Structure 1
Amino acid sequence: MTSTETRADRFTRELAELKIPDPSTGRSGLWLRLGIALMVLGPVLGVVAYFMSHNTSDALVQRDALVLAVAGVSVGIVGAAVFLRYSLTGFLRFWMARQAYDLSVLADRLPEQDARP
């Protein structure tokens, strides 16, 4: 480490050495958008099923609407799980790298304190 290197520069350099992929690139953004789309699609399917079941007196069509409503709930839950998984992954990846950096700074300070009289 040079004396002109700032703490932020050192953190960036050490983050690159850890080879942690940037969460803004790759497929995680695609999975986040897919999770959001599924969360929106779930209630839309529920509303469609509601209007489908109330616009007919045929029991068979109403049962189809019931199946569509349950599928909408399932799609919404899966979308929420996918969104939560990939949004937390990006945050926790950075948090872990930050913890590693802070521990290395602490480890660098300990020998300095032992050398003091």
Structure 2
Amino acid sequence: MTESRADRFTRDLRELKIPDPAAGRSGLWLRTGVVLMVAGPVLAALAYLMSHGTTDPLAQRDAIVLALGGVALAVTGAAVFLRYSLTNFLRFWLARQAYELDGLAERAIREPVPSGSAD
């Protein structure tokens, strides 16, 4: 019985020992990035409400610092999320490229190259 192309691809992935992108520390960092992206704007919104709820300039300056911290959290979270999501995608893409090139090489070996005699 001949195995399908997808079955062969998954077998080759296991042989290459490429980790599952959904598991491990990568998933933890991905979720951390999402949490930071959500926590940043929430903190900035709370700081906005805090700064408009008082006339004390010292409290307003504290709110500005909190808002800037929220923006920094959101930017950091976006960078972490982007880094780990792209890493997972590119790891799988590279494995697929290697698989496709292997298939192309096998076809090139099996099929004879036609002679290019120009008449």
* TM-score between the two structures when normalised by the length of structure 2: 0.90
Which of 106, 111, 115 pairs up with 1:113?
Answer: 111
Choose from 46, 49, 52 the match for 1:51. Answer: 49
Match of 1:82 in 2: 80
Q: CA deviation at 1:6?
A: 1.8
> Using the alignment, how far apart are the partners of 1:71 and 1:80 within structure 2?
14
The alignment status of 1:104 with 2:102, answered yes or no, reads yes
Aligned residue pairs total: 115
Q: How does 1:56-67 map to 2 (within 5 A)?
A: 56-67=54-65
Shift of 1:114: 2.3
Distance 2:82 2:33 in 1: 8
Structure 1 moving runs of 4+ over 4 Å: none
User: Which residue number corresponds to residue 5 of structure 1?
Assistant: 3
Q: Deviations over 1:66-109 (max 9, x none)?
A: 00010000000000011111111111111110000000000001
Cα root mean square deviation, aligned: 1.5
Classify the secondary structure of the residue corresponding to 1:21: coil
Q: Which of the numbers 3, 8, 32 marks the counterpart of 1:34?
A: 32
Show structure 2 runs of 5+ residues with no match: none
Separation in 2 of the partners of 1:6 and 1:51?
A: 59
Query: Which sits farther off after the overlay, 71-80 or 10-19?
Result: 10-19
Query: Any idea what SS the aligned residue of 1:114 has?
Result: coil
Q: For residue 115 of structure 1, report the CA deviation from its aligned partner.
A: 6.4
Q: Which runs of 5+ in 1 are unaligned?
A: none
Partner residue of 2:70? 72
- Structure 1 distance, partners of 2:55, 2:4, is 73
Determine what percentage of the aligned residue pairs are the same residue.
Answer: 65
**Deviation (angstroms), 1:116:** 6.7
Amino acid at match of 1:68: L
